[in-house]
Amino acid sequence: MSLKTRINDDMKAAMKARDTARLAAIRLLMAAMKQKEVDERIELEDAGVVAVIEKMLKQRKDSITQYEAAKRQDLADAEKFEAAVLTAYMPQALSSAEIEAIVAAAVAASGAQSPAEMGKVIALVKPQVAGRADMGEISRLVKAKLGAK
């Protein structure tokens, strides 16, 4: 079953269960997916859906930080709930050891020697870890590997 189909089925289940909070979060995701399809005139595959979810999760994390700084816990809790719903559709995350192995292999394959060549390594790593690892963590690992040489 494709990810889009699973999301659509979950939306129907939330409607039947009258789970309005979950339904609202899923509808936001469906709207973002539809917007991407219309804007780019494409039919989203699973990888595209994961990219949309990643973007939405990043927005939620930023909003949670801002709401908590403004002492608006009610709004922060709503964003946390939406983030939890969205996270359920993400692929299983990679372990730290797996991420380190992928980064080490990419550094070796690219022949990068200095932090200035970090883009080469990131370009090799990104397709392998899309949606399954935090790119900030990947960036830190690549900097550490290239800085150590």
Question: Can 3-87 and 96-148 be said to share one CATH topology?
Answer: no
Render pLDDT for 84-102 as a digit per residue (tens, 0 to 9). 999 999 988 888 899 999 9
Please enumerate, as own/partner, the contacts of 126-129 that have beta carbons within 8 Å and a separation of 24 or more. 128/102, 129/94, 129/99, 129/102
CATH of 96-148, one of 1.10.274.10, 3.40.50.970, 1.10.10.410, 1.10.4030.10: 1.10.10.410
- What pLDDT is attached to residue 132? 86
Q: What CATH number has the domain spanning 3-87?
A: 1.10.1510.10
% of the chain exceeding 90 in pLDDT: 66
